Structure 1
């Protein structure tokens, strides 16, 4: 029972982190729309979501801390998730010497924001279900 709840929160956290990270990348692409020779960055969402679902998330190396006293707390923090980003090359669509399509980036920005909000709505619904189950309602 608790494993299912833990998996729900862990997967939701990873999905939200992925959407937030992608939003930063899209924002960066939009901000650099006038930068000459800029190549927009992107994340392969299908690959990253499958990675999250398969629980095979690549993790960054953990920093180990040297304990100089027995009174020091140990560092049990989980590693942060690292996502693979790549440069997306569009055909030359403008005359500013870069290959970014600002309209496609704006659409991706809105779509990503909607996906983020839908994940929050899903998580809220699941929390209400768990609370109602515990309270016997």
Structure 2
């Protein structure tokens, strides 16, 4: 056997014996993010298309799920076809908490993660309940993951 196949077999064996990821937090995107659309549909309820679109947005938002484990952030979305995006926590560089006035009034907010991931350099968790506490949970999980993997973040 050559060196690369031995290395591949070792990685597979290590993955089999790796501890399962522990779920720390899970939530869906809040429907408050569709409040403007729902108001518009209420004003134009006699038209069929806005009501159908509002129903679609309701389903889309209800099926948009965020799950934080001790190793990665998983984002599931889609109504008919499910899509799952995975972000390794050690790739998170910075995070911030934002929110609109309406989101703040109902106790929700947006968490924006700046990452070193090539495919998704910015990840936004929209309309999260108790966004400040969740952001602190994400930050703590990122730090623990970096320590466990021996990864350091450098600013260039």
TM-score (norm 1): 0.32
Higher RCO (CA < 8 A, seq sep 6+): 1
Return the structure number with greater helix share.
Answer: 1
TM-score (norm 2): 0.29
Return the structure number with greater strand share.
Answer: 2
